[in-house]
Amino acid sequence: MDARSSTFETLSKKIETRAARAGIIGLGYVGLPLAMAVARSGFAVTGFDIDPKKIVALDARRSYIDAVTNEALTAEIDAGRFVSTTDFAGLSDCDVIVICVPTPLTKHRDPDLSFVEATSRSIAAHLRAGQLIVLESTTYPGTTDDIVKVILEETGLKSGSDFFVGFSPEREDPGNQNYHTATIPKVVAGDGAQALSLMKSFYGAAVSSVVPVSSNATAEAVKLTENIFRSVNIALVNELKTVYAAMGIDVWEVIDAAKTKPFGYMPFYPGPGLGGHCIPIDPFYLTWKSREFELPTRFIELAGEINSAMPRYVVGKLAEALDIRAGKALSRSRVLVLGLAYKKNVADIRESPSLRLIEIIEERGGKADYHDPFVAEIPPTREYQALKGRKSIDLTPEAVAGYDVVLIATDHDIIDYAALSKNARLIVDTRNVFGRLGLSADHLIKA
């Protein structure tokens, strides 16, 4: 056996027998559930994060991610399969290292790979032969091979012989009760056949099925394709909503009927705008990379334009409803925005259109409060600093009746919509929650 195959064979055996230690870097929405799934499958896991508050919480067996319960966290810690730290020296003890750090956009909407680069440098400082390094952060095709691998190879060690590099996109769907990390098929790729084989065996242990593809760039493109597909289709129904509304047609009724077609149609639903860490951001990673090839990404740009115009459209509808139904200008009205999270039943407010709705209402002279059962207070955000520290108001009948209009931005299941309908003077529903519940009322309009 030559040195190259023995490095591979040794790591392969370690993964097969669960003797490998996994290091997960970035213990957020993606990293923490992944760390749990990997630990549950029998590997010892070290979680790394630069945020000491997260490590203190985890040490106290307190999860800050909805998808991970305190009990599940405690079980893995007590079984000796999960520890967490801010000390990256422990990376050299890890056989498999998975990077789950943020990939946002810069102020100028270009990819911000500073987190991925910083993490790659931390790994390089502790890199040794016989490690598999995996990127899970969403990014443009080429990042794993052109950035992560290049930084790691600056150590003098070689990918494919001394260490191995792979990419596997994260498909977490926060709040989804039917699917979680271990039951969502996982696309895997590697730099070379041996890296791919290690990827299949590592992820095959932790998740129910793996989907191998031929290169890291392909796997990176898979993730972007999934999110672009969502962004474009959501933009399409958002556009149809505005057109049908002008014609007096209810887009939700149209979609409900259209989706009875057993083939060739897939329902997407309109809303007040795109939110979350993925769909509003990831497509622009491809737009940026495409410029290098002098190719336009018109669908992506158009979808972005339509989706980001939605909050203004909704506030326009709200102002119209106040005018026509209440004879009141928005500038003299009090608005209760119901739901701050970007989607129902979660606490995540990243890129949430609700923040933009509040901002536009106030730009137009209205006064806006919010209620969200999952978000007690607006945390600091980069874009909406003026909203920091505002608190969710209690949804008492008196409070609701005190607002000129309630704007439903997020359709959390926990809200008593029948009671809300009884107490509110006017309701603008951007999610068709009343339609779905079969509740109708004269003081209700859809937007």
Ligand X SMILES: NC(=O)c1ccc[n+]([C@@H]2O[C@H](COP(=O)([O-])OP(=O)(O)OC[C@H]3O[C@@H](n4cnc5c(N)ncnc54)[C@H](O)[C@@H]3O)[C@@H](O)[C@H]2O)c1
The residues carrying an active-site annotation are: 278
Q: How far is the CB of 90 from ligand X (least distance, A)?
A: 12
27-35, 182-190, 239-247, 288-296 -> range binding ligand X (CB under 6 A):
27-35
Q: How far is the CB of 275 from ligand X (least distance, A)?
A: 11
- Taking residues 106 to 145 in sequence order and writing x for each that binds ligand X by CB under 6 A, - otherwise, the string is ---------x--xx-----------------xx-------
Between residues 23 and 366, which has the closer beta carbon with respect to ligand X?
A: 23
- Taking residues 51 to 90 in sequence order and writing x for each that binds ligand X by CB under 6 A, - otherwise, the string is x--x------------------------------------
Q: What are phi and psi of 23, to 5 degrees?
A: -115, 125
Cβ atoms of 19 and 93 within 8 Å: the answer is: no
30 scored as a contact of ligand X (CB under 6 A)? yes
Task: Return the ∠ at Cα 42 (arms to 78 and 145), rounded to 5°.
Answer: 120
Cβ atoms of 92 and 123 within 8 Å: the answer is: no
Mapped onto helix, strand or coil, the DSSP state of residue 255 is helix
351 scored as a contact of ligand X (CB under 6 A)? no
224 pairs with which residues across the strands?
none
Cβ atoms of 191 and 160 within 8 Å: the answer is: yes
DSSP state of 341: S
Tokens coding 75: 């079980």
Which of 14, 81, 277, 328 contacts ligand X by CB under 6 A? 277
49 scored as a contact of ligand X (CB under 6 A)? yes
Between residues 133 and 444, which has the closer beta carbon with respect to ligand X?
A: 133
DSSP state of 365: T
347 scored as a contact of ligand X (CB under 6 A)? no
Total of chain residues touching ligand X, rule CB under 6 A = 26
Which of 23, 141, 166, 174 contacts ligand X by CB under 6 A? 174
Between residues 200 and 343, which has the closer beta carbon with respect to ligand X?
A: 343
- Taking residues 236 to 275 in sequence order and writing x for each that binds ligand X by CB under 6 A, - otherwise, the string is ----------------------------------------
Segment 86 to 105, residues that bind ligand X, using CB under 6 A: 100-103
Which of 170, 220, 372, 404 contacts ligand X by CB under 6 A? 170
Residue with tokens 């505002």: 390
5-13, 21-29, 398-406, 418-426 -> range binding ligand X (CB under 6 A):
21-29
371 pairs with which residues across the strands?
338
Q: Which helix (H) or strand (E) holds 338?
A: strand 334-338
Q: How far is the CB of 192 from ligand X (least distance, A)?
A: 24
15-23, 44-52, 396-404, 430-438 -> range binding ligand X (CB under 6 A):
44-52
Which of 48, 140, 268, 370 contacts ligand X by CB under 6 A? 48
Between residues 147 and 240, which has the closer beta carbon with respect to ligand X?
A: 147
* Integer angstrom CA distances of residue 171 from 23, 143, 343: 19, 18, 16
The Cα–Cα gap between 158 and 50 comes to 27
CA atoms within 13 A on the CB side of 8: 20
Cβ atoms of 274 and 353 within 8 Å: the answer is: yes
Between residues 170 and 191, which has the closer beta carbon with respect to ligand X?
A: 170
Between residues 154 and 416, which has the closer beta carbon with respect to ligand X?
A: 154
Tokens coding 276: 């979350």
Q: What are phi and psi of 124, to 5 degrees?
A: -55, -35
19-27, 295-303, 311-319, 432-440 -> range binding ligand X (CB under 6 A):
19-27
Q: Which helix (H) or strand (E) holds 71?
A: helix 70-78
The Cα–Cα gap between 338 and 326 comes to 20
The Cα–Cα gap between 357 and 271 comes to 12
Residues that bind ligand X (CB under 6 A): 25-31, 48-51, 54, 100-103, 115, 118-119, 137-138, 170, 172, 174, 277-278
